[in-house]
């Protein structure tokens, strides 16, 4: 059942496919006219995940499943964790000083949290037009901060540009915006949904302007340090990826993880990704009303059963006799795959990041099934 879901793990390296549209100029927002939305999900505040070992029987099952995953995926490097609310945490993270794993687009949730913190501090509004902060964005007078978070701005994603893909390197927000301007808007703000890494580049620029810090510095000061996440690091955009497990792919040349910028800045362990999401859903980073807003309006993504809110994804998929409902975020690029989710029915968080051409999605599913 996960064959289609695996497709969304190439979010940072989508093949160019936006040539067949006529750019649009819009003076007003348009009503959403895409595929049906998912009903709003109000995720109940989970109980804390204690920093204690899980029951030995559960640990043994998770260790067995992880060995099977490693055998099937043959990753160059891998980190995995499962946290059960009220019970404890299982990790296979290595040491804090070891190589850090790249979480690709799963790092968008960190950028989104920083933006939502600035909204909570009344330093910006989700309904601010982007032209208030950045000039020359296609339809910038009607594209809002909310649109960038939700991928409803209609902005072309610069990583889809064929010329850019033929010359892989770091491109800053000004350059990715120039590519998006050259292609023009794909639809009027609000009218549809399409994933855009360039939109998150612009969010990183808004953070820099409003908060006075680059996105990596803002994430460190606002999330990583307060939560004491010792293995996590936000990469400076384009600043290199020293200490990060090398991305390895037999299919396509991998990127340098720092090239993702605000669209995927996080490296570190699965255990700390569980700690981050547990803190987020608990209301320790943003108010619970803001947490609820992240999964209030859910747009259908590439594949049936996958939806996008404000920097958060929802998986609602059949799996034999059961139905899966997960809240979290996936990420992927040639040579790396990652997924962090909270499964309310299991009262559990699960996270996996790996290098190579394997997928983190079935790995996370297998770990949760072991519970």
Q: Are 248 and 356 in contact (CB under 8 A)?
A: yes
Q: Residues 61, 94, 11, 75: is their CA dihedral positive or negative?
A: negative
pLDDT of residue 10: 40
Return the bridge partners of 307, or none.
300, 314
Query: Where residue 99 falls among pLDDT bands split at 50, 70, 90?
Result: confident
Distance, CA of 159 to chain centre: 16
Give the residue ranges of DSSP H helices in the chain.
Answer: 56-73, 108-120, 145-150, 162-166, 173-183, 197-211, 215-219, 225-227, 270-281, 288-294, 360-369
Q: Residues 353, 354, 358, 363: is their CA dihedral positive or negative?
A: negative
Does residue 148 register a pLDDT over 80?
Answer: yes
Q: Are 333 and 13 in contact (CB under 8 A)?
A: yes
Does residue 20 register a pLDDT over 90?
Answer: no
Share of the chain above pLDDT 90, in %: 89
DSSP letter for each residue of 291-358: HHHHTTSBEE-SSTTEEE-SS-EEEEEEETTEEEEEEEEEEEETTEEEEEEEEGGGTEEEEEEEESS-
Higher pLDDT, residue 266 or 14: 266
- The per-residue pLDDT for range 244-257, each reduced to its tens digit, is 999 999 999 999 99
- The per-residue pLDDT for range 53-97, each reduced to its tens digit, is 999 999 999 999 999 999 999 999 999 999 999 999 999 975 455
The closest alpha carbon to 286, from 321, 312, 262, belongs to 312
- If you ran DSSP here, which 8-state letter would residue 119 be given? H
Q: What's the first-to-final CA gap in the chain, in angstroms?
A: 19
Does residue 12 register a pLDDT over 80?
Answer: no
Q: What is the mean pLDDT of residues 145-155?
A: 98
In this structure, what is the dihedral angle of CA atoms 188, 301, 257, 135, given to the nearest 10 degrees? 10
Q: Are 105 and 11 in contact (CB under 8 A)?
A: yes
116: part of which helix (H) or strand (E)? helix 108-120
């Amino acid at each position: 059942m996960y064959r289609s879901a695996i497709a969304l793990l190439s979010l940072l390296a989508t093949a160019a496919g936006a040539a067949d549209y006529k750019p649009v100029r819009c003076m007003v927002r348009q009503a959403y006219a895409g595929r049906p939305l998912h009903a709003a999900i109000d995720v109940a505040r989970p109980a804390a995940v204690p920093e204690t070992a899980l029951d030995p029987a559960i640990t043994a099952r998770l260790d067995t499943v992880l060995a099977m995953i490693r055998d099937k995926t043959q990753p160059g490097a891998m980190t995995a964790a499962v946290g059960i609310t009220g019970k404890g945490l299982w990790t296979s993270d290595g040491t804090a000083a070891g190589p850090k794993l790249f979480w690709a687009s799963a790092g968008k949730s960190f950028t989104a949290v920083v933006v939502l913190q600035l909204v909570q501090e009344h330093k910006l509004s989700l309904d601010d037009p982007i032209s208030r902060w950045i000039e020359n964005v296609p339809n910038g007078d009607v594209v809002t901060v909310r649109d960038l978070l939700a991928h409803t701005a209609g902005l072309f994603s610069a990583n889809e540009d064929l010329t850019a893909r033929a010359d892989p390197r770091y491109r800053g927000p000004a350059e990715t915006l120039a590519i998006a301007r050259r292609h023009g808007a794909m639809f009027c703000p609000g009218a549809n949904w399409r994933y855009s890494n360039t939109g998150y580049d612009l969010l990183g620029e808004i953070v820099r302007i409003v908060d006075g810090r680059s996105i990596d510095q803002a994430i460190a000061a606002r999330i990583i340090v307060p939560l004491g996440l010792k293995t996590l690091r936000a990469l400076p955009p384009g600043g290199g990826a020293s200490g990060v497990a090398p991305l390895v792919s037999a299919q396509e040349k991998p990127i340098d993880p720092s090239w993702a910028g605000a669209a995927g800045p996080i490296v570190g362990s699965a255990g700390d990704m569980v700690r981050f999401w547990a803190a987020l859903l608990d209301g320790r980073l943003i108010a619970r009303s803001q947490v609820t807003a992240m999964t209030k309006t859910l747009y259908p993504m590439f594949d049936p059963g996958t939806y996008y809110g404000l920097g958060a994804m929802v998986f609602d998929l059949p799996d034999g006799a059961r139905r899966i409902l997960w809240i979290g975020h996936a990420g992927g690029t040639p040579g790396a795959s990652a997924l962090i989710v909270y499964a309310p029915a299991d009262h559990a968080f699960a996270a996996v990041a790996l290098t190579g051409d394997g997928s983190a999605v079935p790995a996370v599913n297998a770990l949760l099934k072991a519970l």
